[in-house]
Amino acid sequence: MRQGHTSLRVNDKVEVIAGKDKGRVGKVLRIDKDNNRLVVERINMIKKHQKATASQAGQIIEKEASIHLSNVMLVCPECAETVRIGKKLLEDGTKVRVCKKCQATIATASK
């Protein structure tokens, strides 16, 4: 896979297809294009031990760790299945993402 290339966007709904969280669905929070990794909401949770500072007590924080983007697939908003993503050029010259199963246009999710 080319470095920095993905058809996924922030706020897309994805399903994990490999690893300990296989089958779970979540929303993409961040994408690291340099390392081909992404952070999905409530997926791959880790415990981070944070040292005490002068203003804050020490604590154990639970947070999401990144996973490789090859381990997730987009969930189509129309057919509600995990799908591959195609690209299509519209008449007005804009490029859009398309569901390979139902041919529906996948709109860029808004925040």
What domains lie within the chain, and their CATH numbers? Answer: 13-106 (2.30.30.30)
The answer to whether 81 and 46 have CB atoms below 8 angstroms apart is: no
State pTM to two decimals.
0.87
Residue 102, classed as helix, strand or coil, is: coil
Q: Encode the chain (111 residues) as per-residue pLDDT tens digits.
A: 567 688 999 999 999 999 999 999 999 999 999 999 999 999 999 999 999 999 999 999 999 999 999 999 999 999 999 999 999 999 999 999 999 999 999 987 555
Name residues whose C-beta falls within 8 Å of residue 54's C-beta, 6 or more positions apart in sequence: none
How far apart are alpha carbons 41 and 110 in whole angstroms? 16
Can you read off the two tokens belonging to residue 34?
């340099």
